[in-house]
Amino acid sequence: MAKTAKAKAPTDVADLTKAQAKVEHKRLALEIENHNKLYYQEDAPRISDAEYDALRQRFDAIEARFPEFVTSESPSQKVGAAPSGRFKKVRHALPMLSLDNAFAEQDVLEFAGRIRRFLKLGDDDKIDFSAEPKIDGLSMSLRYEGGELVTAATRGNGAEGEDVTANIRTLEDVPNKLKGRNVPEICEVRGEVYMTKHAFLALNERQKAAGDTIFANPRNSAAGSLRQKDPSITASRPLGFFAYAWGEMSAMPEATQSGMIGWFQRCGFKTNPLTRLCHSLEQLVAFHRKIEEQRAELDYDIDGVVYKVDRIDWQERLGFVSRTPRWAIAHKFPAERAMTVLRDIEIQVGRTGSFTPVGKLEPVGVGGVIVQNVTLHNEDYIKGIGGDGEQLRDGRDIRIGDAVVVQRAGDVIPQVVDVILDKRPKNTKPFQFPKKCPCPLHTDVVREETATGEEGARARCTGEFACPYQKVEHLKLFASRRAFDIDGLGEKQIEFFFEQGWVKEPADIFTLEARNNKIKLEEIEGYGQTSVRNLFDAIRRRREIALERFIFALGMRHVGETTALALARGSGSWKSFHDGALKVAKGDEDAIAEMDALDQIGDTVIKGVAAYFGESHNRGVVERLTKEVTILDAEKPKSNSAVAGKTVVFTGALEQMTRDEAKATAERLGAKASGSVSKKTDYVVAGPGAGSKLAEAKKHGVPVLSEDDWLKLIGE
């Protein structure tokens, strides 16, 4: 059974226009702030940690690409959420900041590399790290004066928390007076309040019997227990506390992170017994793997491992960036997995004819959500011989009826990561990938070729625009926000109009109003005179379109938003692009060389343009469409900037902007951002780790600028 894809993956941040990014930035900020309030104030999160991390990653990526969006009110500049107002507010002497996240071992390597560069350490200089499980609880700051507990405050928004001193005094793990001699006059001990798993289950049983609130997880129950107005209720709840950090200290009793952990123990605090001192990156990674293996056996929830530079003087030198310390990072675990049954395999046909097998599951909860569908990537993956995604263990294949292990991490589409062979039903058969498209044409299905000419993993229908699945997906792209952005013409409307035969190609959208005397759209259920008038008004507003949007809307293979922008800027006008594309389709070597010279354009894109304009059917679609719309010339870059007309190459790891941001800025100022260095290159902007391109610059005598030099040159 074939179905067209209904859920679209979000546009890559690198492909967002500034206007799109601004809208999404605002939406994500509101969404994140709402989830912060639910998590920190109300102890009632509605999404999993992995989903929240995915929101933050996308939000941070947008701000990295568009730093001008960052304000003091941005979630990236805040920690947690403002105090709820149910308790007296407490101002932290030193902010309680959150940690940056690592999701892969490569992220940890980059974290260590940044520390080494910042401290100007050589390859032989050793960096010790304190590593500890990341407790999923409620952050707490305990202030002692003269050794006596005077205030206990939640993290709140990082600068200001809630006074829960009376409740904290009921916890056995928190001493009211610090033990030992030579305790600093002012001492802030920080750590995590948590509830064990068995205590959580017992509490929920009591809550259920009493008809009270049932908590979703141990973290919620710990936070809810601590925020009781009546301390006796808190005292009746089994809460624990692990000490692992500090705030204001009138004197430091130890010189290292690991030394401070030992000092906390001597003062009467519990610390996590799994905390270890690691002397290399290999030990960090091994510790992370070991803790992940033990995760299910622990009686408290953890969601990763925290690494901290052990030397406190180095911590102080490294300092902080935005809301996070440079000297610490949280290495998160992958989302937890679940086992269920694969009931069916369906094939979805995408806009470019690509086949995507989708597994239909017996619904199962994974990472806080119910999963019913999973991607099976491609034919090779189903057969157990690799392909996209994680390799299935032992090369086992996937069959309908199998018991499978499903994983969902962040905003990644859920996938099958293992098959339980000893639970496989008898008489199951290997899945037969279709050799014909399920569309009425039943056209052949072929495997794509890779850049080296070998058979690729992706299968495609050869019907192109004659295939109805591809036609309707092209129309959806055409009307989408990234292309013509026609309000009121969403995916459902496109499917309906296509099924009715009213819109078969893009030009039909613009003749719809003229044909409505026969269609009588206002008489269709779900429509009315007002909605029909609004739709036609929206279509009329899109009769004038930017060149890059028009090129993207054509749906050529391998031509995304970024590529469409490069083609538009390189061509200047629709006539110039159209004439060049026709020549490319005919194999004109000069036209191919001219297109190849454009930044971000290579053989793959050129083949996509040639294939599109080499089809007479496509040329007819374009010809009929251009009679209905006016295509604006591309925005011209500035000609009076310090770098106008210059060729610039960016290399190495830029630290104040992404490579895409740097290129976009250069092009906006009239420069050409090239990917290779030659005698014609005017500037090479080199960041840390610059390699062969830096050597080429020196070879050709090309001026080399630092990132700061570049920003000074362009006046930013």
Helix (H) or strand (E) holding 365: strand 355-366
Phi, psi at 365, each rounded to 5°: -85, 125
**Residue whose entry in the numeric block shows the structure tokens 């890059």:** 548
The encoded tokens of residue 360 equal 């239909």
If you write DSSP's letter for every residue of 525-556 in order, what string do you get?
TT--HHHHHHHHHHHHHTSEEEHHHHHHHTT-
Q: Give, as one character, the DSSP assignment of residue 10.
A: P
Compute how many other C-beta atoms are within 10 angstroms of the C-beta atom of residue 378: 22
* CA-angle at 424, arms to 420 and 427, nearest 5°: 155
Closest CA relative to residue 156, chosen from 100, 96, 231, 72: 96
C-alpha–C-alpha distance, residues 684 and 521, integer Å: 58
Closest CA relative to residue 395, chosen from 370, 415, 371, 421: 421
CB-based contact 322:75 (threshold 8 Å): no
Compute how many other C-beta atoms are within 10 angstroms of the C-beta atom of residue 275: 20
Which residue in the list 6, 18, 120, 134 is annotated as catalytic? 134
Closest CA relative to residue 475, chosen from 465, 461, 463, 488: 465
Helix 589-596 / helix 574-585 crossing angle, nearest 10 deg: 120
Compute how many other C-beta atoms are within 10 angstroms of the C-beta atom of residue 123: 5
The residues facing 240 across adjacent strands are 194
CB-based contact 158:78 (threshold 8 Å): yes
CB-based contact 239:175 (threshold 8 Å): no
C-alpha–C-alpha distance, residues 110 and 625, integer Å: 49
C-alpha–C-alpha distance, residues 617 and 457, integer Å: 28
CB-based contact 31:75 (threshold 8 Å): no
C-alpha–C-alpha distance, residues 14 and 664, integer Å: 11
Q: How far apart are the first and last CA of the chain?
A: 55
Q: Which amino acid would we find at residue 284?
A: L
C-alpha–C-alpha distance, residues 658 and 64, integer Å: 7
Closest CA relative to residue 4, chosen from 571, 468, 444: 468
Sorted by sequence, the CB contacts under 8 Å of residue 190 that are 6+ apart come out as 96, 139, 140, 141, 142, 243, 244, 245, 246, 247
What is the Cα gyration radius of the chain?
30
The encoded tokens of residue 438 equal 């399920």
Closest CA relative to residue 323, chosen from 104, 95, 29: 95
Closest CA relative to residue 526, chosen from 571, 562, 492: 492
Check residue 436 and give left, alpha or beta (phi > 0: left; psi -120 to 50: alpha): beta
CB-based contact 92:151 (threshold 8 Å): no
Q: Is 476 a catalytic residue?
A: no
Q: Which residues are catalytic?
A: 134
